[in-house]
Amino acid sequence: MKSKQLTDDKKILSFNYARLIIAVLFFSYGCGLFLSPYSVVSYTNFTNQKAFHLKFIDDFTNAPDKIYNQNKIDEMYNFGDLRFREALEYEKQRGSDETRINAFEILYEQFEADYKHLINKQKLYSNAFAEELKGELEKNYNLAIKGELSRRNTPTN
């Protein structure tokens, strides 16, 4: 049973990772005429969401001093949900291209899946699962950030 759950969890991680890679490859190497230019706000949204999402995982990973608290999980989820909605609304209102919007949507879906996993299991993430999840999240967010930095008019140091 536990092995099946780990397999199902890995399928979810692999599917979202593959979708993000495809979006970022198109995003990075697609025709520059169809991509909107670099946006400091979008870059900031990606980096802030990354930090928040990783903290969400850390805060709800099993430890001796932690207990499962649905109210705390819901409160943090609602805060993250609002941040993702704000980022998506910003992108849609400014007329961003679909690749940037897709990257935010994929990351948002992963955040929602991570929340639902906690709620459905009614227990904190195991340390092993949290480490694996954080590794995948790091890759996904780094791909989105790399895609943003590959846009035209990106400031150089």
The tally of CA atoms less than 13 A away on the side-chain side of residue 102 is: 18
Q: What are the residue ranges of helices labelled H in 36-97?
A: 40-59, 70-93
pLDDT along the chain (157 residues), means of 10: 58 63 56 71 97 98 96 98 97 89 96 97 97 96 94 76
- Please name the residues in contact with 37: beta carbons below 8 A apart, sequence gap of 6 or more: 151, 152, 153
Backbone dihedral angles phi then psi of residue 80, each to the nearest 5 degrees: -65, -40
Q: How many CB atoms lie within 10 A of CB 113?
A: 15
Q: What's the confidence (pLDDT) of residue 157?
A: 44
What are the tokens at 133? 């999840």
User: pLDDT digits over 69-99, tens only?
Assistant: 999 999 999 999 999 999 999 999 998 889 9
- Domains of the chain by residue range: 47-157
Q: What's the confidence (pLDDT) of residue 154?
A: 81
